[in-house]
Amino acid sequence: MNPSTISRPFGFEMTARDTNTHARTGIVHTAHGSFETPVFMPVGTQGTVKGITPRDVEETGAEIILGNAYHLYIRPGIEIIQKFGGLHRFMGWNKPILTDSGGFQVFSLTRLREITEEGAVFQSHVDGARIFLTPEKVIEIQEAIGSDIAMIFDECPPPTKDRDVIRKSLEVTLRWAKRAQVHRKRPDQALFGIVQGGIFPDLRAESLARTVEMGFDGYAVGGLAVGETKAETLAIMEQTVHVLPENKPRYLMGIGTPVDFLEGIAAGADMFDCVTPTRYGRNGSAFTPRGLVVVRNAKYAEDEKPLSEGCECYTCTHFSRAYLRHLFNAEEMLGPQLVSIHNIFFFVHFVKSLRREIREGRFARFKKEFIEQFEENSR
């Protein structure tokens, strides 16, 4: 039987559409439950959202998290995860999981790599061991992990204006995508294709058309936020995302600020992930509707207010800016943990709130007003 014809417990239904932009709301159904879109997925690269327990992540309202096949393959190894019956049980998370294939990590974590028709040869960032990944091997890894949504293995090219480099990368990704699709076996796991093409609109359009022609369960736009300008990122988003099939979820990979979410949703995207909430949290920077609050700053030494007034996260309902500043100055690990909890809560609920704005026809106005206020207060 052709794997693409197997019945799968996965589906997407659109529930509302904005009349002024390409924004929309929907529901994605997976083997571990359903989640509404637009949605923010906290990043749990190595089987954990950095510094935060799964219980805390769930209490932020997160409906789905992201893991990474490359990192989990290296540590702890697929055999151990399989022994526990998959990543859900291994890490204590019962809701949906999406796994990234590792294409971006091959690009970003090692200089010593070689891309061939067969796959990617590179050195482990942990111990320097030689690793060889093929599209088929990456599918096998993700099926062993047991994620609800798997990604094809793509080549994520470096930012460049060399069309020949991008063209070659695009062709490799398309051939790898077809091989991944043929090799898949799990009926309970969705597989997403990835659109590449760099900053060239015509190559993006070609990649999109040829990827959609293969008939994946969902589609991602990759190769953005890797070094191109903000203007270039926005242009590709606006030209590409809304053209993807409207009956399938659309995933904008690695895009990661509240302003980015607004632009991505306006372009028609449904799913987002990034490490920004925990990365900023570890440095003491908190996201709020009025911009960033850097709790290390001396002006918060006696500030009794929470990070963000009106926020209902655990951090804001229990602790002051002054206490958080003390934790960072004392180098207590609780400080980064609490700010990270707030940031994930803020990202999750910010994107959730946009569903209401879309359903009630206020999204375009809200987008304009929020961006003006956020950027003004973040200067």
Q: Collapsing DSSP states into helix, strand and coil, what is residue 98? A: strand
- For residue 260, indicate whether it is catalytic: no
Strand order of the β-sheet with 218-221 is 39-42, 271-274, 250-252, 218-221, 190-195, 149-151, 97-100, 65-68
Active-site residue (options: 18, 56, 100, 154): 100
Calpha distance 8→181 (Å, rounded): 14
Smallest CA-to-CA distance from 139 within 178, 83, 88 is with 178
One DSSP character per residue, 215-260 reads --SEEEE-S-SSSS-HHHHHHHHHHHGGGS-TTS-EEETT--SHHH
Are 305 and 320 in contact by the 8 Å Cβ rule? The answer is yes
Calpha distance 296→240 (Å, rounded): 40
Calpha distance 175→136 (Å, rounded): 12
Pairing of strands 250-252, 218-221: parallel
- For residue 273, indicate whether it is catalytic: yes
- Could you count the other beta carbons within 10 Å of the beta carbon of residue 362? 15
Are 155 and 146 in contact by the 8 Å Cβ rule? The answer is no
Report how far apart, in Å, the C-alpha atoms of 286 and of each of 152, 273, 301 are.
Answer: 34, 17, 16
One DSSP character per residue, 151-167 reads E-----PPS---HHHHH
- Could you count the other beta carbons within 10 Å of the beta carbon of residue 197? 24
Smallest CA-to-CA distance from 194 within 161, 163, 157, 147 is with 157
Are 264 and 252 in contact by the 8 Å Cβ rule? The answer is yes
Residues with catalytic annotation?
100, 273
